[in-house]
Chains A and B, each alone.
Chain A
Amino acid sequence: MPIVLSNIFRFILLVLFQVLVLNNIQFLGYINPYLYILFIIALPVRTPRWFSLILAFAIGLTIDIFSNTLGIHAFATVLIAFLRNGLIKIFTSIEEGSNPTPSFYTFGVGAYIKYVVLFVFIHHSILFYLEAFSFAHFWIISAKIILSSLLTILLILGIQSIKSK
């Protein structure tokens, strides 16, 4: 039960933080972190896949409604939620029966960093290209993707290293 509660709490907190604070942040005109995907990154490993897809759709659509970008965030988050189990399998070996929440302690530092980096990068790439809906601004968008991903990754790793076990 505490896991469910802490995830609901995390959902609300991340949406509010994303909408009220991060959406107003803009370094150098390019960088715009999307920290809310930490919610999907940090879902327990054995969450049923169909359930994590629906949760991803819910948080994506919520962010969409608040930032007038209907469907874009929902698409990107559902896609990474679909790829999540594969990513976890590539980088870690979790024993049958255990159901840890992804973090430095459960995955190991190296594996967790790789998992987060790939996760964020895929999400941001899809998000920014979908937002532009063309390859016309290829270099601008690529710069946006790389810089924003870096900031999101740093934020996520920072938050995870502060959090106690």
Chain B
Amino acid sequence: MKNLINFLIQYSVVFLFLFLEIISVTLIVKNQEYQKSVFLSSSNSMVSGLYEWSNSVVEFFKLRTANESLSEENTALKNQIVNLQNKLSTLLPEASDSLRFRIPPEMEYQFISAKVINSSTNKLQNYITINKGIIDGVKPDMGVVSDEGVVGIVKTVSNRFAVVIPILNPKIQISCKFKRNNYNGSLIWSGEDYRYANLTDIARHVQLSLGDTLVTSGLVASTFPEGIPVGIIEDFNIKESDSYYNIKVKLAVSFRTLSHVKVINYLNYKEQKNLELSSEEQ
């Protein structure tokens, strides 16, 4: 017994070491189930408070470019309004006898604008924290876009903050298609460079050319509507033995300068999910 106690005392440091390492490994493994760890991540209110404060300093230097992109978007929207008004005026007489108002498919989406308060681009698995949460109507699985294109998908939400998994994380794949011929494939980040990602599942017979534009396919309609820009083809090649192209895509969004994003709220999400679930059960 005395020997045992001596032994324990002699190696107490080793035991402490092992104990702390086991805690660390447990945390790493638990971290895979990301939802559980909101408390110990940057959507924790104290941590995000610090980030918000530091961001308010940094944001000042980004104001000029943010202004420019806002005014560009503004003019584009105004043009759209003029176009729509023109169309509306020609359609008006027919609309008078319609029975019931229904939101057309293009407008089943609402946007919640948010500010990026923390983001990384240099890890193998990157995350973005934004300053909108449950209170503002953000829920997990919602799509996130910026003025330039697709950013990512909301993963966890706390009351006032949310963590987004951007394209720059191999945990998600974005389903997208060519604007020109509608072939679709999924986009995966390779982990090397925050400006590029790889497009997979494009078969050999598809005609490609450099500079083709990629947009979201809308097949996973619950997150992204169809036609949001994702990137353009920078480079592609195919080996004799392969049946799929190896395509390098230059992303539309520059993640290093990201500051304002919009969360997409798909209004019919619940109805569609319920329908899909009930048909799976049968």
Contact = CB atoms under 8 A, between A and B. Distances in A.
Contact of B21 (A65, A70, A75, A131): A75
Contact of B163 (A57, A67, A68, A82): A68
A74 B47 contact: no
Contacts of A131: 123-125
A137 interface: yes
Interface string B14-48: 00110011011111111100000100111010010
User: Most chain-B Cβ atoms within 10 A of its Cβ — which of A66, A71, A75?
Assistant: A71
B169 to A, nearest CB: 11
Contacts of A23: 120
A74 B23 contact: yes
B54 A75 contact: no
Contact of A65 (B24, B29, B47): B47
A65 B127 CA distance: 13
Interface in A51-96: 53-54, 56-57, 60, 64-72, 74-75, 78-79, 82
A50 B123 contact: no
B159 interface: no
26 contacts: A26-B121, A26-B122, A29-B122, A29-B192, A53-B13, A53-B17, A56-B20, A57-B20, A64-B40, A66-B47, A66-B50, A68-B42, A69-B123, A70-B40, A71-B24, A71-B25, A71-B26, A71-B27, A74-B27, A75-B24, A78-B24, A79-B21, A82-B17, A131-B124, A137-B124, A140-B192
Size range of the interface on A?
A: 20 to 34
A8 interface: no
A65 B12 CA distance: 28
Interface string B105-128: 000000000000000111111010
Interface in B155-201: 163, 191-194
A65 B31 contact: no
A54 B17 CA distance: 9
A157 B60 CA distance: 33
A146 to B, nearest CB: 16
A164 B49 CA distance: 35
A50 B12 contact: yes
A131 B31 CA distance: 12
A66 B42 CA distance: 6
Interface in B100-156: 120-125, 127
Contact of B41 (A50, A53, A68, A72): A68
B31 A70 contact: yes
Nearest to A72: B28
B268 to A, nearest CB: 32
Contacts of A29: 122, 192-194
B263 to A, nearest CB: 19
Contact of B20 (A64, A67, A78, A137): A78
Given A65-B44, A66-B42, A71 B194 contact: no
Interface string A27-62: 001001000000000000000011001101100100
A-B interface, 10 closest residue pairs, ranked by CB to CB distance from nearest:
A71-B27, A71-B28, A75-B24, A70-B31, A74-B24, A26-B122, A71-B24, A49-B13, A78-B20, A70-B27
